[in-house]
Amino acid sequence: MKGTAALCSVCLLTAIGFAGSAQGTSPIAFKSWEVASEFSDTANPAGAWQYGYEPTLNDVFSLLPVAEHQFPAIYGWQRTGDINEGPFINHNKKNVQKGPFGSKAIVYPPHSLSLHPGQLCEYADLRFTAPAAGNYRITGQFYAMDYGGQTTTDVHVSVNQVEVFAGTVSYSSSPTASFTPSQLLVPLQANDVIDFQVGCGSNNNYFSDTTGLNAVIEVE
């Protein structure tokens, strides 16, 4: 996402004494999660993240069980071994742009993450599980990645399977859909979930629907 810096998984900030205080410093733990930099192509689930899908929006969640490698440097997870079926969740492992790939010209920015719905318009679903109670801020953006076939998707953020953000991504008319902490500051208990979901869009087909996601989750 332009202008948004990826945050580290754990940042230690130091509290410094003021007015010449002779007291020592103490670390303050500040926790955040970033969807792309923490992507795992070897384990699902992986830490706080699960790579999955739903038959319809906020339906039964299932893991994508098959590790896949469609394009050079692009790794991820899919529902079956058939790359024509989907859904997919993929990641560019390199710090340089990769692509365009395929006849539909998909371009992956450095270290980017993508979601693609399934052949039957199943939703690709990246799920975050809260490790502890707190107020969680969700910031990010969905964006079109297929400039050849021109991405057209419906995109959502849900908390405990209740939609809290909905948007559309269309390469030709609305290539991004952003969400901010002013919209998405949510109280969560341990093991509550946040879902980032991508569906087929208003045209009801999954062709050329590769959709990027940049997102950061922070806990107060």
* pLDDT band with cut points at 50, 70 and 90 for residue 52: very high
CATH classification (class only), 34-219? mainly beta
219 pLDDT more than 90: yes
| 147-170 residue pLDDT tens | 877 899 999 999 999 999 999 999
Give me the residue spans of the domains in the chain: 34-219
Q: Are 40 and 47 in contact (CB under 8 A)?
A: yes
Q: Mean pLDDT across the stretch 59-75?
A: 92
* pLDDT band with cut points at 50, 70 and 90 for residue 123: very high
For 115-172, the DSSP string reads EE--TT-PEEEEEEE-SS-EEEEEEEEEEE-BTTTT-EEEEEEEETTEEEEEEEEETT
Q: What pLDDT is attached to residue 73?
A: 87
Residues 126 and 12: their CA atoms lie apart, in Å, by 27
Q: What pLDDT is attached to residue 132?
A: 94
* pLDDT band with cut points at 50, 70 and 90 for residue 84: confident
Instruction: Specify the amino acid at residue 39.
Output: F
